[in-house]
Amino acid sequence: MSGRPILLLFTGTGGSGRKSVACKVGEAMGLHPVVSYTTRSPRPREANNGFYRYINESDFEMSFQAGEFMETVTINGYRYGIKRSELDKALAGTRGAYLVLNREGTELFKRMYGEQAFRVFIYVSKQTVLERLTAKGMPYEVVERYMAQYSDEVSYRKSCEAVVENMELSLAVSKVLEAVRSSQLVI
Ligand SMILES: Nc1ncnc2c1ncn2[C@@H]1O[C@H](COP(=O)(O)OP(=O)(O)OP(=O)(O)O)[C@@H](O)[C@H]1O
Ligand SMILES: Nc1nc2c(ncn2[C@@H]2O[C@H](COP(=O)(O)O)[C@@H](O)[C@H]2O)c(=O)[nH]1
């Protein structure tokens, strides 16, 4: 390992497969995932996916008041946050870590970590999001929300260091790896 650990920030359009791509890239590069705490409930087949810790509002508030979060956001009435202890754990003795975040969180971590952070924007067409989420059995109100947010989310791609379409998972993973390797990041 040389240089400082890197932070890959996966963002993009909801339901585009960001977590799927992030996992594979993380495995290939030896990066660790950073768990996010949320007050929303797990969705079908989502429990224990390694990306979220589901906690209640009062536990979230207690951690918030104790200053444990580096970043928090409220989306559709639910709170999400990244704890300093989780990021430190993911970075300890490793080549780096990765997070899956919305646009605001991605911006914040990019500002905090500067050159160490690399933003990867993952997207597919709105129609493909619809088909994948429906096939996954996602609740109707969640699918509707993802559809409504699509145009706003997709506009963030121009700010990111890499923009990758995820039609075929292994191809998307290769493109992210190539983009990171050809960047100025020291790994
Ligand atoms: N390249 C692909 N081809 C087909 N299906 C895919 C592909 N990548 C991911 N998927 C599927 O799409 C669905 C959404 O994937 P995933 O949960 O990784 O996306 P996400 O963008 O992190 O979602 P969310 O915004 O809900 O957090 C899953 O059912 C996943 O198996
Ligand atoms: N800024 C942050 N964004 C986060 C965090 N955890 C998840 N997310 C992003 O929020 C939306 C909504 O997520 P959903 O799983 O409920 O649909 C999505 O873009 C996530 O990537 C966080 O801790 N901070």
Tokens of 62: 């207690």
> Phi/psi zone of residue 50: left (φ > 0), alpha (ψ -120 to 50 degrees), beta?
left
Find the 72 Cα to ligand 1 centroid distance in Å: 24
- The preferred substitution site among 45, 80, 86 for testing ligand 2, maximizing ligand atoms within 8 Å of CB, is 80
Per-residue pLDDT for 46 more than 90?
no
CATH number at residue 109: 3.40.50.300
User: For residue 148, how many other CB atoms are within 10 A of its CB?
Assistant: 9
Cβ of 132 less than 6 Å from ligand 1? yes
**Residues framing ligand 2 (Cβ under 6 A):** 14, 36, 40, 71, 73, 75, 80-82, 100-102, 104-105
Q: What is the pLDDT of residues 75-125, one digit of tens each?
A: 999 999 999 999 999 998 789 999 999 999 999 999 999 999 999 999 999
For residue 187, is it within any domain?
no
Q: Looking at the domain assignment, is residue 186 inside a domain?
A: no
> Distance, CA 73 to ligand 1 centroid (Å)?
22
14 pocket-lining for ligand 1 (C-beta < 6 Å): yes
Cα 32 to ligand 2 centre (Å): 17
Pocket of ligand 2, candidates 101, 110, 136: which has the most ligand atoms within 8 Å of its Cβ, to mutate? Answer: 101
Q: Where do the H-state alpha helices sit in 41-139?
A: 57-65, 84-91, 103-113, 126-135
Beta sheet of 162-165, edge-to-edge order: 32-33, 96-100, 6-12, 117-123, 162-165
Domain count for the chain: 1
Q: Work out which ligand 1 atom sits closest to the CA atom of 16.
A: 21
Whether 1 is in a domain gets the answer no
Which of 146, 104, 103, 100 shows the shortest CA–CA distance to 125?
Answer: 146
Question: Is the Cβ atom of 40 under 6 angstroms away from ligand 1?
Answer: no
94 found inside a domain: yes
Residue 37 placed within a domain? yes
Whether 185 is covered by a domain: the verdict is: no
Q: What is the pLDDT of residue 92?
A: 87
Show the domain range for 140.
6-180
Report helix, strand or coil for 144.
helix
pTM: 0.95
Residue 31 and residue 96 in contact, taking contact as beta carbons nearer than 8 Å: yes
Separation of alpha carbons 90 and 112, rounded Å = 17
Sign of CA dihedral 123, 157, 34, 26: positive
- Residue 58 is assigned to a structural domain of this protein: yes
How does residue 44 score in pLDDT terms, banded at 50, 70 and 90? confident
